[in-house]
Amino acid sequence: MTAVPAWQRMSWPAADFSRIPYSAFVDPAIHQAEQERIFRGPVWCYAALEAELPEPGDYVVTEIGDTPVVVARDLDGVVHAFVNRCAHRGTLLVRTPRGRARDFTCVYHHWNYDLRGNLQGVPFRRGLEGKGGMPRDFALADHGLKRLKLASYRGVVFVSFAAAVEPLLDFLDQPMRRFLDNIFAKPIEVIGYVRQRIPANWKLYYENLVDDYHGIMLHPFQATFGIARATQEGGSIMDAQGRHRMVYVVHGTDSEDDAKAGYEGTTTYNTGLTLHDLSIADFRDEIGDGRAIHMCAFFPNLLVQRLSNTLATRQIRPRSAGVYDLYWTYFGYRDDDPALRLVRLKQINLVGPGGLVSMEDGEAGRLLQLGIKGDHKDAHSVIEMGGVGDVPKVADHLVTEVSVRSFWKNWCELMGVGPATPTARVV
């Protein structure tokens, strides 16, 4: 009989995922299992924006989980994705982050592939003067790059390793597709990239993305300068399975008195912080919905954001149980006037590794990872803000962390672990 690995014997004392074992964040065996069951499993992972590949021959490299992947537009304009690994001996094939090419040649022995990942040339395949070479029955067609399924919605490219994954439109579900319709209503262009490495488990970041409770407490800049406060109108909505989640906050819907009363006794508001140049906090309501925060997390590796006037995708790339990388792709609309483009570039300082708002998210993950190391056996986080039991799909306030529980429900289903009789239905 095969022994059950230790990580599958984690304790799940609450059927509604309101207790999460800390070992889920530190065990290298779980990191390995996640690669297979989640990132190479039956889900769609974000890979790129089509705007990064406008012309035939354009490509970007990415990572899905810890697997290197290339996304390339072929000479007919069709976008493909394949594992960035030479079919000969496994060398990383494409070594530049992005560019334009007619084909790809491996640096090691110069095997050459077309933009669809087909092997089209092997130097010395027939040997030299009758000596050496590949066996006569070696067929190029049998040695292409490993292909991924690819589908895009509104120019956002998703890939999957799983042949049996559900169609992308079903995976995204409403109202998440409506969110993408809104953000990608106009042609975009990429205006910059940032990447950062955070010494924490990637799930601590996904938890952060779907946790409104932290958003109203951790970020004093956001509260002090009115970008998002608990006392403003806001809420969230999830898909039917509670995998993805959109949150919004409506600018200017509270008064200074509301904020003072709501945040009384905390250090998040009324901090004494001042700005010499207020324009960085100056939200321009370019879409007309008043939402200075409008973002959507897509399980397992993406956040699409509109924060004030910054637009970006954030891609999560787990590196080990205790480290993940975050890749930020900033974009604007092609029809931005120069003044608006300048505002977007300036407000990039709100987010990213050193951003006035999101710097704290990386630090919170680091502190969590530090806090749970060592003697965490049979220790669990407590997730009860917003209620226990079933997970409501819609909230009209921000004082909640229920979506963290539905994240774990989906994680457990994919990993084949969890409470014996889970009860947290998404309702």
Query: Which residues form the interface with ligand FES (CB under 6 A)?
Result: 86, 88-89, 91, 106, 108-111
What lies within 8 Å, CB to CB, of 39 at 6+ separation is: 45, 64, 65, 66, 67, 161, 300, 301, 318
> Choosing among Fe ion, ligand FES, none, which partner's interface includes residue 361 (Cβ < 5 to 8 Å by kind)?
Fe ion
The verdict on 361 binding Fe ion (CB under 5 A) reads yes
The verdict on 239 binding Fe ion (CB under 5 A) reads no
> Residues 28, 319: contact at Cβ < 8 Å?
no
Residue 3 burial by Cβ neighbours in a 10 Å radius (0-12, 13-18, 19+): exposed
Q: Which residue type occupies 117? A: G
Query: How far apart are alpha carbons 309 and 307 in whole angstroms?
Result: 6
Nearer to ligand FES, 89 or 260 (CB): 89
Nearer to Fe ion, 50 or 361 (CB): 361
* Count of residues of this chain found to bind Fe ion when the rule CB under 5 A is applied: 1
The verdict on 211 binding Fe ion (CB under 5 A) reads no
CA triplet 412, 158, 398: central angle to 5 degrees?
A: 55
The stretch among 185-193, 328-336, 353-361, 419-427 that binds Fe ion (CB under 5 A) is: 353-361
The verdict on 212 binding Fe ion (CB under 5 A) reads no
Nearer to ligand FES, 35 or 91 (CB): 91
What is the nearest approach in angstroms of ligand FES to the Cβ of residue 199?
33
> Choosing among ligand FES, Fe ion, none, which partner's interface includes residue 186 (Cβ < 5 to 8 Å by kind)?
none
Nearer to ligand FES, 145 or 216 (CB): 145
> Choosing among ligand FES, Fe ion, none, which partner's interface includes residue 88 (Cβ < 5 to 8 Å by kind)?
ligand FES
Q: At what angle do helices 202-209 and 402-415 cross, to 10 degrees?
A: 140
> Choosing among Fe ion, ligand FES, none, which partner's interface includes residue 89 (Cβ < 5 to 8 Å by kind)?
ligand FES
What is the nearest approach in angstroms of Fe ion to the Cβ of residue 222?
8
Structure tokens at 203: 């799930």
Q: State in Å, rounded, how far the first CA of the chain is from the last one.
A: 40
Query: How far apart are alpha carbons 233 and 250 in whole angstroms?
Result: 5
What is the nearest approach in angstroms of ligand FES to the Cβ of residue 86?
3
- DSSP states of 10-59: -----TTS-EEEGGGGT-HHHHHHHIIIIITSSS-EEEEEGGG--STTEE
Nearest residue to the partner Fe ion, using Cβ: 361
Nearer to ligand FES, 88 or 98 (CB): 88
The verdict on 16 binding Fe ion (CB under 5 A) reads no
Sites of contact with Fe ion (CB under 5 A) = 361
